[in-house]
Amino acid sequence: MHLLPFSLSLTLLLLLLSLSLAECRPDTFNKRQSHQIHPLRRQTGSAGTTTKVENLSCSSWQLAVETNNLRDWDVIPASCESYFGHYLLGHRYREDSSMVTKEAAQYARGLQLSGNGKDVWIFDIDETSLSNLPFYSKHGFGVEPISETLFDEWAAKGAAPPLPESLKLYKEVLSLGIKVVFLTGRTEEFREITALNLKRAGYYSWEKLILRKANEVTITALQYKSAERLKLTEQGYKIVGNIGDQWSDILGSPEGERTFKLPDPMYYIS
């Protein structure tokens, strides 16, 4: 019953955020007023262009981040807040995500499955299955250092909308007979609220929901996730696909038969 309003919530939230940001942040969003139709409306142009502030090309920074050339960065460059505001609240983030999940769905449809119920697809949660954009948009889209406490307060609400493209992929993957495993860096204390949030967002079932145990918080996400994937293969599962927004979701043996990297310019997890 609650699925329809919830699936609309991301769109509505983004609309409201556009309006509130336009009003509250004239210093940031209006400084290039003369080139803009509306503070958070897309600007005209094409591939030959870039937003260049303080000799930094935000689009080059973004590409370097997405290709894993830049690593271990803390926050997005301050001069790129407006650039990423436009990117994330505009259609580009949606289109970039869609290109990835459509390719993933096409790959999934072409798979020769074992049919023994042991074929699984791994979905990361934050910025993959669920979108924390309503939270990050209130904190400069990654320009502010985010304390764990602050993010935990948001996660505890269980109110994150789905990333629409991933939800579509999830449904397609399930319809093909592939089981879904959620593998997240969130800790066990968030199991209940995370499960509730996933269901609210439309992810109604799964084979496993793997969260980080207390003794796993000192290792990197890459080490933790690789180890969990290894356990799955040892349990007889075949990881036919693996999708995440961080390179630490998809690097580290066993990666899965094929990996997919969703865009995320907001934060870096090693």
Question: Is residue 33 near a second copy by the rule CB under 8 A?
Answer: no
- Tokens for 88, please give them: 């994330």
**String of contacts with a second copy for each residue 240-269, x by CB under 8 A:** --------------------xx-x------
User: By C-alpha distance, which of 262, 266, 227, 264 is closest to 244?
Assistant: 262
Interface with a second copy by CB under 8 A: which range of 57-65, 129-137, 144-152, 176-184? Answer: 57-65
Question: Counting Cβ atoms within 10 Å, is residue 104 exposed (0-12), middle (13-18) or buried (19+)?
Answer: buried
Smallest separation, CB 165 to a second copy (Å): 11
- Give the nearer residue to a second copy in terms of CB position, either 143 or 160: 143
- The footprint of a second copy on residues 84-103 (CB under 8 A) is 84, 86-87, 90-92, 95-96, 98-100, 103
Q: Is 242 helix (H, G, I), strand (E, B) or coil?
A: strand
The DSSP-derived string for 90-115 is SHHHHHHHHHHHHHHHHHHHT-----
Contact between 161 and 130 under an 8 Å Cβ cutoff? The reply is: yes
Smallest separation, CB 164 to a second copy (Å): 15
- Give the nearer residue to a second copy in terms of CB position, either 70 or 193: 70
HSE toward the beta carbon, residue 196, CA cutoff 13 A: 9
Whether the bond into 265 is cis, omega within 30 of 0: no
Number of residues that bind a second copy (CB under 8 A): 42
Smallest separation, CB 212 to a second copy (Å): 25
- Give the nearer residue to a second copy in terms of CB position, either 162 or 263: 263
Question: Is residue 31 near a second copy by the rule CB under 8 A?
Answer: no
- Give the nearer residue to a second copy in terms of CB position, either 41 or 213: 41
* Distance from the Cα of residue 164 to its chain's centroid: 11
CA distance 243 to 224: 16
List 6, 13, 28, 68, residue binding a second copy (CB under 8 A):
68
List 63, 78, 156, 196, residue binding a second copy (CB under 8 A):
63
Question: Is residue 111 near a second copy by the rule CB under 8 A?
Answer: no
List 13, 64, 111, 113, residue binding a second copy (CB under 8 A):
64
CA distance 103 to 121: 14
CB-based contacts of 231: which residues, under 8 Å, 6+ apart?
none
Smallest separation, CB 45 to a second copy (Å): 2
Give the β-pairing of 208-212 and 119-123.
Answer: unpaired
Contact between 122 and 229 under an 8 Å Cβ cutoff? The reply is: yes
Contact between 112 and 63 under an 8 Å Cβ cutoff? The reply is: no
- Give the nearer residue to a second copy in terms of CB position, either 83 or 135: 83
- Give the nearer residue to a second copy in terms of CB position, either 39 or 158: 39
Which parts of this chain interact with a second copy (CB under 8 A)?
Answer: 35, 41-51, 57-64, 66-70, 83-84, 86-87, 90-92, 95-96, 98-100, 103-104, 260-261, 263
